[in-house]
Amino acid sequence: KAGVTQTPRYLIKTRGQQVTLSCSPISGHRSVSWYQQTPGQGLQFLFEYFSETQRNKGNFPGRFSGRQFSNSRSEMNVSTLELGDSALYLCASSTSGTSGRVSTDTQYFGPGTRLTVL
Partner 1 sequence: AQSVAQPEDQVNVAEGNPLTVKCTYSVSGNPYLFWYVQYPNRGLQFLLKYITGDNLVKGSYGFEAEFNKSQTSFHLKKPSALVSDSALYFCAVRDTGNTDKLIFGTGTRLQVFP
Q: Which residues bind partner 1 (CB under 8 A)?
A: 4, 33, 35, 42-45, 48, 56, 58, 90, 92, 102-104, 106-112
The CB-of-69 to partner 1 minimum distance in angstroms stands at 21
* Residue 53 exposure: Cα atoms within 13 Å on the Cβ side: 5
Closest to partner 1 by CB, 21 or 92:
92
Closest to partner 1 by CB, 76 or 90:
90
Closest to partner 1 by CB, 28 or 42:
42
CA 33/CA 29 separation, integer angstroms: 11
The CB-of-6 to partner 1 minimum distance in angstroms stands at 8
The CB-of-16 to partner 1 minimum distance in angstroms stands at 28
Between CA 67 and CA 96, with CA 99 as vertex, the angle to 5 degrees is 85
CA distances, 84 to each of 24, 43, 52, 106 (Å): 26, 14, 28, 29
Between CA 90 and CA 101, with CA 96 as vertex, the angle to 5 degrees is 120
91 - beta bridge partners?
A: 34
The CB-of-107 to partner 1 minimum distance in angstroms stands at 7
Closest to partner 1 by CB, 14 or 56:
56
